[in-house]
């Protein structure tokens, strides 16, 4: 039976329908899975084994689950592990990353959709990654007897402020959470402020550090170099990754300035939304450059008779984590203009690239502060500053490499969150697979433990 929250959701859906319809018309991926999400149509799980349902909203959250899932499968081989996502790109990457697992679209937070999904999956525990606080899903899972947890929990200043407006309504839902494993003390304090009981909070650090590749010699990086025709590249490689509208133009402008003094420089652009590939190709060609599209071309780009090198446009899903391993200088997108919050600055840092990003990085504030505090990255505030910074990095390669090495050391020093998160999950479901009621340690003492472990 629909509840008041369903009515509110329907009202918001109707109000936003013109925008949603326009987006769906432009992007076919926005339409994918919509009816499954509305109806809670998910695969029916077979058998009665204990089940851990992991929900990760999109690509970044799916990828950070890799070390956690591997260790869960090793420690609990008799458990079923299933993974849901919200976005089509997230589901595509989940299917490729976890081919042996059941993967599916998470239901929208309507009572009928979450009820049907829970009836089909029958989870022993529902584990939400980062900030997926869906009241109907949390309440319904808890009512069915499933343990409910948030791992890698993150609440930025803006999200906290938004949730705080509805604290009176949200607090009863958050009190149903059996555990919240937060990335930082700051996030833990914000969860506490919203109503999560203190004895259910712990600070584990970010799992994202543990799953990061840091070796440029691994097969997937070598394959990326071959696929992009960069095996014989003698000049530096500039990768602009997870870029959003306007940032590709800024990266191209920086590249065109820098290649005057560094003619061997190569540019690789990996947009956050690969469906923008055709639009970006037109922009690049309009600036007088040759473009090679990964999503269209069958063969690696070769040298041209006129000596011009193509700008490499990677309009595919799931390849950026390998391509960062090719970068001498990396620009991390979603950060140059307001309202986006930044993208994962840790991935190129782990490879020891010289990392550049804009001022709008609230989604990764702790990592950004750690890098800047070690002079291991640069902030650029405009397209012009991006060009200036790229030229500085290329002009003094020794300083640039030292900055990259410092970034890599910082990332490696943060590892260990996966083990602390697994300990929290052990407390959540019991070491023998039976849910127990052992509380997590209070979040302040856990913070000290996490800090000493790091």
> Do both 140 and 200 map to the same domain?
yes
pTM (two decimals): 0.80
Residue 190 lies in a domain: yes
Residue 82 domain flag = yes
Same domain, 202 and 224: no
Both 201 and 350 in one domain: the answer is no
Q: Which of 267, 248, 389 is nearest to 323 (CA)?
A: 267
42-51, 215-224, 243-252, 296-305: segment of lowest average pLDDT: 296-305
Statement to judge: residues 249 and 367 lie in one domain: yes
Taking residues 216-243, report their average pLDDT: 95
pLDDT above 50 (res 289)? yes
Q: What per-residue string of b and e applies to 363-387 under the rule 16 or more CB within 10 Å gives b?
A: bbbbbbebbeeeebbbbbeebebbb
- Identify whether 96 is part of a domain: yes
Q: Per-residue pLDDT tens for 197-206?
A: 999 999 999 9
- Residue 447 scores a pLDDT above 50: no
Of 61, 92, 247, 385, the active-site residue reads 61
Who wins on pLDDT, 149 or 167?
149
Is residue 184 a part of any domain in this protein? yes
- pLDDT recorded at residue 3: 80
Q: Are residues 290 and 381 in the same domain?
A: yes
For 335, residues 6+ apart whose C-beta sits below 8 A from its C-beta are 341, 342, 343, 357, 358, 359, 360, 361
Q: Which of 3-7, 56-60, 320-324 has the highest mean pLDDT?
A: 320-324
Q: What is the pLDDT of residues 76-113, one digit of tens each?
A: 999 999 999 999 999 999 999 999 999 999 999 999 99
Does a structural domain hold residue 4? no
Compute the distance between CA of residue 218 and CA of residue 220 in angstroms, rounded to an integer.
Answer: 6
- Residue 92 sits in the same domain as residue 229: no
Predicted confidence at residue 376, as pLDDT, reads 98
Among 36, 78, 63, CA closest to 429: 78
Q: How many domains does the chain have?
A: 2
Is 75 contained in some domain? yes
Q: Which of 4-18, 19-33, 322-336 has the lowest mean pLDDT?
A: 19-33
What's 190's domain CATH number? 3.40.50.11720
CATH number of the domain where residue 361 is located: 3.40.50.2000
Q: Give residue 355's pLDDT.
A: 99
Angle at 363 between CA 362 and CA 367, to 5 degrees: 90
CA Rg value for the chain: 23
Do residue 52 and residue 65 come from a single domain?
yes
Statement to judge: residues 348 and 424 lie in one domain: no
pLDDT-wise least confident of 92-101, 218-227, 228-237: 228-237
Residue with the bigger pLDDT between 299 and 325: it is 325
363 within 8 A of 342, measured Cβ to Cβ:
yes
Q: Is 172 found in the same domain as 78? A: yes
Model confidence band, residue 448 (pLDDT cutoffs 50, 70, 90)? very low
Question: Could you tell me if residue 204 is inside a domain?
Answer: yes
Pairing of strands 147-153, 125-129: parallel
What pLDDT sits at residue 437?
40
First to last CA, the chain: 48
Sequence length of the chain is: 454
Q: How confident is the model at residue 4 (pLDDT cuts 50, 70, 90)?
A: confident
Q: What is the mean pLDDT of residues 268-278?
A: 96
- Phi, psi (deg, nearest 5) at residue 51: -135, 130
- What local confidence, expressed as pLDDT, does residue 28 receive? 55
What mean pLDDT comes out for the span 61-78?
A: 95
Q: Write the pLDDT tens digit of every residue in 339-397.
A: 999 999 999 999 999 999 999 999 898 899 999 999 999 999 999 999 999 999 999 99
Q: Is the same domain home to 282 and 326?
A: yes
Mean pLDDT value across the chain: 90
Give yes or no: 61 in active site.
Answer: yes
How far is Cα 186 from Cα 1, in angstroms, rounded to an integer? Answer: 38
- Using the predicted structure, report yes or no on whether residue 118 has a pLDDT greater than 50: yes
Measured between alpha carbons, how far is 64 from 72 in angstroms, rounded to an integer? Answer: 14
Q: What is the 3-state secondary structure (H, E, C) of the chain?
A: CCCHHHHHHHHHHHHHHHHHHHHHHHCHHHCCCHHHHHHCCCCCCCCCCCEEEEECCCHHHHHHCHHHHHHHHHHCCCCEEEEEECCHHHHHHHHHHCCCCEEEECCCCCHHHHHHHHHHHCCCEEEEECCCCCHHHHHHHHHCCCEEEEEEECCCHHHHHHHHCCHHHHHHHHCCCCEEEECCHHHHHHHHHHCCCHHHEEECCCHHHCCCCCCCCCHHHHHHHHHCCCCCCCCCEEEEEEECCCHHHHHHHHHHHHCCCCCCCEEEEEECCHHHHHHHHHHHHHCCCCEEECCCCCCCCCCCCCCCCCEEECCCCCCHHHHHHHCCEEEECCCCCCCCCCCCCHHHHHCCCEEEECCCCHHHHHHHHHHHHCCCEEECCCHHHHHHHHHHHHHCHHHHHHHHHHHHHHHHHCCCHHHHHHHHHHHHHCCCCCCCCCCCCCHHHHHHHHHHHC
- Are residues 159 and 56 both part of a single domain? yes
Confidence of residue 293 (pLDDT cuts 50, 70, 90): very high
Query: Same domain, yes or no, for 184 and 83?
Result: yes
pLDDT of residue 26: 57
Residue 442's pLDDT is: 42
Q: In sequence order, what are the beta bridge partners of 129? A: 151
In the prediction, which pLDDT does 20 show?
58
Percent of the chain with pLDDT over 90: 78
For residue range 385-441, what is the model confidence (pLDDT) as tens digits?
Answer: 999 999 999 999 999 999 999 999 999 999 999 999 999 999 998 844 444 443 344
Range 322-346 average pLDDT? 97
Asked if residue 3 belongs to a domain, the reply is no
Range of the domain at 251: 219-413
User: For the chain, what percent of residues have pLDDT higher than 70?
Assistant: 89
């Amino acid at each position: 039976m629909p509840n008041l929250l369903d009515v509110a959701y329907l009202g918001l859906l109707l109000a936003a329908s013109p925008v949603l319809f326009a987006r769906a018309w432009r992007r076919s991926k926005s339409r994918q899975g919509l009816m499954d999400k509305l109806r809670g149509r998910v695969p029916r799980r077979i058998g009665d084994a204990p089940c851990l349902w992991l929900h990760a909203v999109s690509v970044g959250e799916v990828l950070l689950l890799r070390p956690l899932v591997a260790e869960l499968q090793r420690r609990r081989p008799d458990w079923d592990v299933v993974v849901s996502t919200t976005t089509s790109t997230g589901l595509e990457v989940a299917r490729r990353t976890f081919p042996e697992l059941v993967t599916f679209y998470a239901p929208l937070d309507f009572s009928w959709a979450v009820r049907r999904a829970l009836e089909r999956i029958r989870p022993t525990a529902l584990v939400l990654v980062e900030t997926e606080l869906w009241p109907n899903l949390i309440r319904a899972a808890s009512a069915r007897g499933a343990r409910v947890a948030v791992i890698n929990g993150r609440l930025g200043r803006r999200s906290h402020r938004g949730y705080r407006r509805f604290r009176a309504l949200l607090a009863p839902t958050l009190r149903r959470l059996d555990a919240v494993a937060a990335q930082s003390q700051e996030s833990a304090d914000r969860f506490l402020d919203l109503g999560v009981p203190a004895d259910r909070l712990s600070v584990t650090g970010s799992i994202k550090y543990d799953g990061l590749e840091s070796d440029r010699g691994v097969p997937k990086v070598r394959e990326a170099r071959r696929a992009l025709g960069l095996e014989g590249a003698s000049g530096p490689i500039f990768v602009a990754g997870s870029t959003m509208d306007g940032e590709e133009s800024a990266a191209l402008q920086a590249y065109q300035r820098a290649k005057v003094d560094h003619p061997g420089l190569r540019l690789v652009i990996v947009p956050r939304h690969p469906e923008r590939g055709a639009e970006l190709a037109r922009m690049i060609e309009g600036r007088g450059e040759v473009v090679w599209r990964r999503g269209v071309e069958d063969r690696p780009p070769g040298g041209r008779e006129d000596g011009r090198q193509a700008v490499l446009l990677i309009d595919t899903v799931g390849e950026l984590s390998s391509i960062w391993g090719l970068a001498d200088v990396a620009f991390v997108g979603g950060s140059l203009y307001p309202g986006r919050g930044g993208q994962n600055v840790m991935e190129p840092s782990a490879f020891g690239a010289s990392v550049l990003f804009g001022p709008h990085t609230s989604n990764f504030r702790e990592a950004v502060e750690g890098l800047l505090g070690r002079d291991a990255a640069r902030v650029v505030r405009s397209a012009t500053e991006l060009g200036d910074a790229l030229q500085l990095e290329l002009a003094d390669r020794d300083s640039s490499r030292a900055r990259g090495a410092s970034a890599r050391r910082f990332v490696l020093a943060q590892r260990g969150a996966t083990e602390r998160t697994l300990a929290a999950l052990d407390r959540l479901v019991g070491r023998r697979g039976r849910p127990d009621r052992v509380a997590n340690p209070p979040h302040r003492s856990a913070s000290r433990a996490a800090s000493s472990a790091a």
